[in-house]
């Protein structure tokens, strides 16, 4: 199984920017922690970060047929990008949206996520632990999808034997 972690604008500045909101942890530290969880669960992991909306859309589309799950922090694009929302919906890969800060405790314009409705779920407000929870969630979702596919294949095989 493969998970792609997609990071939106300004997340490359973690550890330097607005530490009162995002904390002192750098993006590389978050990725190292996620990588540890992935290794423990025999999951291939890939990281991508861009400040450009179109590059994020392109990377989402590239996941089609290549990834089993996505963790995305669209950052500011959470609240503005119909294009990212539509890309997530189009590829139909289980996706978990994560945010370091609790977007519902912040400015009112951050209270609306355009991307969350097309994701399996959203985790917000737990700092770097949001990514850990996102990784656990996407692994669980991928395992459930794999189990459903196996059950469907077994059912089809049984029907073929009977028919």
Residue 60 assigned as binding residue: no
Residue 86 assigned as binding residue: yes
CB 29 within 8 A of CB 128: yes
Residue 4 DSSP SS3: strand
Residue 101 assigned as binding residue: yes
Output the CA torsion sign for 62, 11, 134, 116. Answer: negative
CA 98 to chain centre: 7
Catalytic residue among 77, 99, 131, 132: 99
99 labelled catalytic: yes
131 labelled catalytic: no
Residue 68 assigned as binding residue: no
d(CA 136, CA 13): 25
Residues annotated in the binding site for substrate, as ranges? 73, 79, 86, 100-101, 110
Residues annotated in the binding site, as ranges? 73, 79, 86, 100-101, 110
Catalytic residue positions? Answer: 22, 99
């Amino acid at each position: 199984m493969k998970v792609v972690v997609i990071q939106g604008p300004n997340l490359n500045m973690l550890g330097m920017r607005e530490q009162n909101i995002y904390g002192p942890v750098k993006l590389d530290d978050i990725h190292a922690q996620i990588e540890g969880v992935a290794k423990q669960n025999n999951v291939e992991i890939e990281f991508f970060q861009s400040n450009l909306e179109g590059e994020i859309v392109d990377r989402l589309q590239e996941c089609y047929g290549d990834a089993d799950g996505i963790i995305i922090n669209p950052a500011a694009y959470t609240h503005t990008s119909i294009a990212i929302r539509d890309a997530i919906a189009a590829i139909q890969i289980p996706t978990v949206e994560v945010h370091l800060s609790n977007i519902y405790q912040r400015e009112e314009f951050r209270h609306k996520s355009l991307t969350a409705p097309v994701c399996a779920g959203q985790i917000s407000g737990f700092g770097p632990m949001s990514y850990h929870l996102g990784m656990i969630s996407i692994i669980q979702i991928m395992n459930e999808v794999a189990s459903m596919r196996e059950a469907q294949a077994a059912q089809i095989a049984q029907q073929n034997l009977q028919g």
